[in-house]
Amino acid sequence: MKIIGTGSAHPKCAVTNEMLEQFLDTTDEWITERTGIKERCVISSEKLEDLAVIAANKALEDAGLTADEVSALKGKLAISLQEIYDACQTEALLKNHESVYIRNEMDGEFWLETYLTKDYAYDYIPDEEFPYLKFMTDDACYRYDSGKFLLYLFITPDGVGDFASERAEDFASVLLGEDTINETIESVSEKDGCITVKSVLGKDSLVMAEFGVASGKFAYALDAKTREILSIISDYTYDDGLAFRAVTEVTYDAEAPEMIEVFLKYANQTEDLRNVTVVSNPGTEKEVSQNFQIPKGLIVGLTWDDAFENKVELFADAACTESYDPYVNTDSDITICIKWNE
């Protein structure tokens, strides 16, 4: 925060060193040499709150403000980093809106867009050679990767689950990390219906410090009326002095990106489908068989919790002898058998 005015007040009654000599075994020279003090102020008839009022009025005068102006500012601009962080959570972003569009740039180059609704989440990373898109609902996750459309099913030892928890976790906070609340606010201002909060964060608290980032400066723009986040400008400096700027802009109730229509078409398709049977623990007492109908041409991928990494094997037959290849028979009915290893 920036200090714009100071004020002080002290009691009228002063007690000098010479006065202390009258009833203490001391001298002005002895006190001055050891403390530098020549006199001190002592409250007599004044009250502490009276002195506080005098000091406050002097601080207002020094800042060029009136008491009424400070009262207005207190209600208008009082804001914390916790409030900013909370305003950037997906639940808060969608509280009063049907959708939220988020565009990210790095040093002026577009590098990521995110589109959120209560029903789905969408990410797009542009790349001339290998663009990446992800579209996630509570039931499935669709991707476009290396020129191909894929549908992922979330599997567990008990069968195919859903993506509700993963979607909630992955997209709970798409704008800010938890280190935001460790920043120090330098200034808060308001202009044209927008509150701007500027803050800094040192290396000791930066999550990106492990990548050689030494410091960060941030500017948050919020709607003065609703306190909804509008944009974020992040300036980072590396240990070697190099710097980069990230700019995030938020638009509420914006039209969906064009590619979302492709994913929605797949999600809602009712014709030209194929059967995909997923068998977990085949040939055992724990066998679970589930059938799904998905659009022909979609590649079927499987994903699972990190806790089962290196413990899952996928096969195209019940005997578990032929490995499952998702890029084969993308128009035909298929069976995927899952073997869970201890």
Q: How many domains does the chain have?
A: 3
**Three-class DSSP category at 76:** helix
Q: What predicted TM-score, i.e. pTM, was given to this entire model?
A: 0.72
237 assigned to some structural domain: yes
39 assigned to some structural domain: yes
- Helices in 36-123 by DSSP H: which ranges? 48-63, 67-77, 81-87, 90-93
Examine the domain organization and report whether 122 and 156 are in the same domain: yes
Examine the domain organization and report whether 146 and 229 are in the same domain: yes
Rg (CA), the chain: 32
Examine the domain organization and report whether 85 and 65 are in the same domain: no
Examine the domain organization and report whether 238 and 284 are in the same domain: no
Q: Which of 309, 296, 297, 240 is nearest to 270 (CA)?
A: 296
Examine the domain organization and report whether 25 and 122 are in the same domain: no
Examine the domain organization and report whether 286 and 148 are in the same domain: no
Examine the domain organization and report whether 308 and 162 are in the same domain: no
Examine the domain organization and report whether 56 and 88 are in the same domain: no
Query: In this structure, are strands 39-42 and 273-280 parallel, antiparallel, or unpaired?
Result: unpaired
Phi, psi of 316 (to 5 degrees): -100, 5
Examine the domain organization and report whether 95 and 29 are in the same domain: no
The parent domain of residue 55 ranges over: 13-77
1 assigned to some structural domain: no
23 assigned to some structural domain: yes
Q: Identity (one letter) of the amino acid at 77?
A: L
Examine the domain organization and report whether 290 and 249 are in the same domain: no
pLDDT tens sequence for the chain (342 residues): 567 789 898 888 888 888 888 888 889 898 889 899 888 888 877 788 888 888 888 888 888 877 765 655 555 567 888 888 888 889 888 988 999 999 999 999 999 999 999 999 999 998 878 888 999 999 889 999 878 899 999 999 999 999 988 898 888 888 888 778 888 888 888 889 999 999 988 767 666 666 777 788 999 999 988 889 999 999 988 888 889 899 999 999 999 999 999 999 999 999 999 999 999 999 899 999 999 999 999 999 999 998 898 899 999 998 999 999 999 889 999 999 999 987
Task: Give 151-219 as a 3 state SS string.
Answer: EEEEEECCEECCCHHHHHHHCCCCCCCHHHHHCEEEEEEEECCEEEEEEEEEHHHCHHHHHCEEEEEEE
